[in-house]
Amino acid sequence: MTADGATILIVEDEPPIRRLLRTTLAAHDYRTLEAGTGGEALQAMRHHRPDLVLLDLGLPDRDGLELIGDIRKLAPVPIVVLSGRGEEAAKVAALDAGADDYVTKPFGAEELMARLRAALRHRLQQQGADRSFSSGTLKVDLVRRLVERDGEAVKLSPKEYDILEQLAIHAGKVLTHRHLLREVWRDEAVDPQYLRVYIRQLRQKIETDPASPQHVLTEPGVGYRLV
């Protein structure tokens, strides 16, 4: 999905921030809906079917993490959290609750737009629009379990592929360490250092410059995303 025709529900209790977001999104050809409370957000979800929810966690009537779960029960819509809570624990909690991404206030317009585009791409993949991932010279075929870089086949170990598969399935979404350990190792108690080792090995094979990765990006203290 592109910005053209996409509708974003802004859930924010501060009118000045809502106005800023409305203006910024309109300048990038998004349509907007607005809600100042969690209750209004759920009502908008039921009546308008937005393509993405931009959610502030600090709402007056309910806990933002609880609201993420309530939205998830209504629709598999991407949720990008916009919050002044910049601590790693807050980000992990929101992502583990079901958010697709987390942007900390104050935010830059270009960063926010990039996160929204990535979340909308992830929505298309969830809908089964494509069982492959392609970015630059990197191609991942999730049906045939094939990986190519610069037109050449890339040989990955089973664990390396399993990590890349999770990242490709959820391309654009931040996957927490806990998510990857659960899905790849089937055990959230595994030492995250094992994950870091495999991520480093994976970058050596799929990145043009592993020291400056362009595909597998680190969200410090939180997890990884594929772009």
pLDDT at site 131: 78
6-23 pLDDT per residue, tens: 999 999 999 999 999 999
Q: What is the mean pLDDT of the chain?
A: 90
* Distance (Å, whole) CA 45 – CA 126: 19
| pLDDT range class, residue 1, cuts 50, 70, 90 | very low
* Distance (Å, whole) CA 115 – CA 221: 18
| pLDDT range class, residue 216, cuts 50, 70, 90 | very high
SS3 185: helix
**Cβ partners under 8 Å of residue 128, min gap 6:** none
Q: Are 130 and 209 in contact (CB under 8 A)?
A: no
pLDDT at site 2: 46
Residue ranges of the alpha helices (H) in 28-157? 38-48, 64-74, 88-97, 109-126
| pLDDT range class, residue 78, cuts 50, 70, 90 | very high
Residue ranges of the alpha helices (H) in 79-215? 88-97, 109-126, 158-169, 177-180, 192-206
What mean pLDDT comes out for the span 201-208? 97
32-72 pLDDT per residue, tens: 999 999 999 999 999 999 999 999 998 999 999 999 999 99
Q: How many CB atoms lie within 10 A of CB 31?
A: 15
What mean pLDDT comes out for the span 134-160? 94
- Predicted TM-score (pTM) above 0.85: no
* Distance (Å, whole) CA 227 – CA 221: 18
Q: Are 1 and 29 in contact (CB under 8 A)?
A: no
Q: Are 154 and 147 in contact (CB under 8 A)?
A: yes
164-198 pLDDT per residue, tens: 999 998 888 899 999 999 999 998 888 899 999 99
* Distance (Å, whole) CA 12 – CA 6: 19
